[in-house]
Amino acid sequence: MGGGSTASLLVSVACVVLAVFPPVASGDAATLESVPDLVKAMYINVESFPCVRLLNHSGQVGCSNPGHDKVIAPIVRFGNKNDQLVQPSAVLLPLDQMTDFFLRVSSDPELYRKIAGVLVETNGVDDVLELSPDRKFPQQAFVPYSNLSHHWNPMGSGIMWNKYDFPVFLLSEESTQTLQKLADKNEKSANGYLAHVAEFDLVMQTTKAGTHDSESCLREQSCLPLGGQSVWTSLPLISNSSTKHQKPIIMVTASQDSASFFRDRSLGADSPISGLIALLTAVDALSHLHDISNLKKQLVFAVFNGEAWGYLGSRKFLQDIDQGADSVNGISSLLIDQVLEIGSVGKAVSEGYPLFYAHAAGNPSISKKMVDALQSASESLGSDNVKVKPAASSNPGVPPSSLMSFIGKNTSTSGLVLEDFDSQFSNRFYHSTLDGPANINSSSIAAAAALIARSLYILASADLPIDLITLNAIKVNVSLVEELIGCLLKCDPGLSCGIVKSFISPSNSCPSHYVGVFQDLPAGTQFPSYADDISRFIWNFLADRTSSLAGNSSSCTGQCHGEGEICVGAEVEGGGRCVVSTTRYVPAYSTRLKFEDNLWHILPVNSSDPFSAADPVWTESFWNTIGLRVYAVQATSYDWLVLLIGIIITAASYFAVIVGRSYISKIIKRD
């Protein structure tokens, strides 16, 4: 029998089966024309976002199927009225009950054994009071002070740092509605012949390989280290790699990555993308100044990647400076005079006006100058009524931030972190899927950008008289803030927005701020392999805003040949243009990793690095496929009934054949 005949037979049989056992999806069995049609009618592929398996030097966190096979289980609701399970089940869980559920699962072995998988419903910000799967003191191991009992993140539950040997998926809004209907059907037909099940495909390669920490999985090549690309630039240009006769440096930093229980839902709108947008907007405002090269201090802007995972970006940046890497030519650690970090600034609107807090560290006199500059900048904004206050002296030190890397490297470093909170995070959704665009205020970010831009002009002027005309001319583009929120935090327009597509060809419209994995050593400082969409956009944006025209203004699609020239917008149709800019990529991965002989190796603890022993060396497991689908199955008792009927029909058919043959034989003998 040919392939076409086989398919036709399958479809014919399917039509009979579907008439008896209706499919999950809506559709008419009579319209089935092929095997793919049959599969589509029987199965629903569910749009969802997985929790995946991560490893560090001491063990594993995150989620995975318990073995090498898919997990299939009936879908049941789990909530206040139904918190008991009679068999291994796919639990449909409201988002606002997620924290209590996972805390209970971790302490209740009997319940743990009944969890085949978890389906977390999507809810809006207004439906959940608070949700933070991170700890109450995030990244406590990197703190440069002794008080570790402070709760910067009082909403933190720590559930994202536990290991779960069952799959967990966050459902999209549409999938949430679908699964709720199926769970309701299961509940109504608890004793019926038909049940709706979820099929989880979340088998991690580290589970197959039996590797249980970063060192073993890197050795067996079942994982890759977390990492990406940081970006830095300068205003004005740093013309060459020599550090002689250069000005003291004011480092202005922000982070570009966030974390979440669910890998691809790490938006981090307030923490830290609001700070990133404020930095980009401040650079845009300062780029219009004509006399910036006359200032007494050099402005260097750095956007770090991997900060949510052991401050990968900032620590690698500082290590590269010490080692004189090409990626940081022109920067000397001896020249870094002040560090100003833009933290969470998206929720600062209080009592009708933006109020920010300056968390200072280091030399008190230098810190005071920085706070004074911020307050002078706020006064210059006049009717905009932007306020700045020093953080409470009762705080143990600066909050979790990249500044900790600088202080850890050099305890005499002076700097401050600008935040929208004083003693505790104002973000109720720190490192959760709900830290999205609805959790921030664009006017707060615009106010922070204006405050930062004017403060930097004051600080970079040092002992020069402040030109009030120039200071008051520094204005931020509020429309740019709104546009960047839409580009970096929403799927519509997302990375398909005009400003992003003017620089790069994005691989995906929906932005994600998960750091990703680092595959191998970078090929260069302009176009490294595997740089993600966000890093490439930041590089191009900063290069464009901090550039001067190149001698040869012809279009380019890669390298430019003049000194200090780089190609901006090389990915767009028609090619980019050569400009002169100091903008560079810097690799961001653990300082305890070395790529050699096509393998990643973990280095011993570096005694000269105070944070080396605390470095978790995060890695992410490989996987072949990740999927979630639902379909209907019949009860086992009904299977036995069908089998019994089939046996009876077969026996009757066999008896009929015997009788028929006997009858025919008699007729033939008579003839």
Among all chains, which residue has been given the structure tokens 């650079």? 283
Phi, psi of 576 (to 5 degrees): -100, -155
- 271 vs 440: CA distance, rounded Å: 10
Whether the pLDDT of residue 95 is over 60: the answer is yes
Tokens, residue 106: 């971790």
Average the pLDDT over each of 132-146, 163-177, 181-195, 379-393 and give the range with the smallest value: 181-195
Q: Please give the pLDDT value at position 37.
A: 63
Whether the pLDDT of residue 452 is over 50: the answer is yes
- 42 vs 24: CA distance, rounded Å: 6
Residue 190 pLDDT level (bands cut at 50, 70, 90): low
Q: Please give the pLDDT value at position 194.
A: 66
Would you say 368 and 415 are in contact if contact means Cβ atoms under 8 Å apart? no
What value does the mean pLDDT take over residues 570-598?
A: 92
What value does the mean pLDDT take over residues 213-225?
A: 96
Q: What residue type is 529 in one-letter code?
A: S
What value does the mean pLDDT take over residues 269-282?
A: 98
Q: Please give the pLDDT value at position 1.
A: 42
Q: Please give the pLDDT value at position 575.
A: 85
Q: What three-state secondary structure class fits 318?
A: helix
Whether the pLDDT of residue 610 is over 80: the answer is yes
Residues 6+ apart with CB under 8 A from 270: 344, 346, 347, 420, 426, 427, 429, 430, 435, 439, 440
Q: How many CB atoms lie within 10 A of CB 389?
A: 14
Residue 479 pLDDT level (bands cut at 50, 70, 90): very high
Whether the pLDDT of residue 27 is over 70: the answer is no
DSSP bridge partners of 119: 92, 169
Phi-psi map region of 324: left, alpha, beta (phi>0 left; psi -120 to 50 alpha): left
Q: Please give the pLDDT value at position 21.
A: 45
Tens digit of pLDDT for each residue in 297-356? 999 999 999 999 999 999 999 999 999 998 999 999 999 999 999 999 999 987 778 999
> Is the sign of the CA dihedral 196, 197, 198, 199 positive or negative?
negative
Closest CA to 446 of 483, 496, 471: 483
Would you say 269 and 428 are in contact if contact means Cβ atoms under 8 Å apart? no
Angstrom distances, CA of residue 150 to CA of 154, 396, 431, 543, 632 = 9, 7, 18, 40, 50
Tens digit of pLDDT for each residue in 395-447? 999 999 999 999 999 988 999 999 999 999 999 999 999 999 999 999 999 99
Measure CA 655 to chain center.
Answer: 67
Whether the pLDDT of residue 34 is over 90: the answer is no
Q: Please give the pLDDT value at position 71.
A: 96
- 254 vs 448: CA distance, rounded Å: 13
What DSSP state is assigned to residue 29? Answer: G
Q: What three-state secondary structure class fits 633?
A: strand
Residue 80 pLDDT level (bands cut at 50, 70, 90): low
Tokens, residue 664: 């025919």
Q: Please give the pLDDT value at position 554.
A: 72
Among all chains, which residue has been given the structure tokens 């999938």? 175
Tens digit of pLDDT for each residue in 365-393? 999 999 999 999 999 998 778 999 999 99
What DSSP state is assigned to residue 464? Answer: S
- 289 vs 163: CA distance, rounded Å: 52
Closest CA to 406 of 363, 438, 437: 363
Q: Please give the pLDDT value at position 20.
A: 42
pLDDT > 90 fraction of the chain, expressed in percent and rounded: 70
Would you say 522 and 231 are in contact if contact means Cβ atoms under 8 Å apart? no
Average the pLDDT over each of 85-94, 233-242, 401-410, 427-436 and give the range with the smallest value: 233-242
pLDDT > 70 fraction of the chain, expressed in percent and rounded: 89
Angstrom distances, CA of residue 55 to CA of 63, 566, 616 = 11, 37, 9
In terms of pLDDT, which residue wins out, 15 or 46? 46
Tokens, residue 388: 């700045």
Residue 633 pLDDT level (bands cut at 50, 70, 90): confident
Q: Please give the pLDDT value at position 19.
A: 42
Would you say 273 and 258 are in contact if contact means Cβ atoms under 8 Å apart? yes
Average the pLDDT over each of 53-57, 83-87, 604-608, 648-652 and give the range with the smallest value: 83-87
H runs (alpha helix) in 462-599: 468-473, 478-489, 498-501, 533-545
Phi, psi of 22 (to 5 degrees): -60, 145
Phi-psi map region of 617: left, alpha, beta (phi>0 left; psi -120 to 50 alpha): left
Tens digit of pLDDT for each residue in 486-506? 999 999 999 999 999 999 999
Q: What three-state secondary structure class fits 106?
A: helix
Among all chains, which residue has been given the structure tokens 């003693």? 423
Tens digit of pLDDT for each residue in 42-78? 788 999 999 999 999 999 999 999 999 999 999 999 8
Mean pLDDT score of the chain, rounded to an integer?
89
Residue 653 pLDDT level (bands cut at 50, 70, 90): confident
In terms of pLDDT, which residue wins out, 609 or 619? 619
Between strands 249-255 and 298-304, the pairing is: parallel
CA angle 433–269–612, rounded 5-degree value:
85
Angstrom distances, CA of residue 473 to CA of 176, 234, 293 = 50, 21, 17
In terms of pLDDT, which residue wins out, 543 or 40? 543
Whether the pLDDT of residue 607 is over 50: the answer is yes
Angstrom distances, CA of residue 611 to CA of 267, 312, 615 = 27, 11, 6
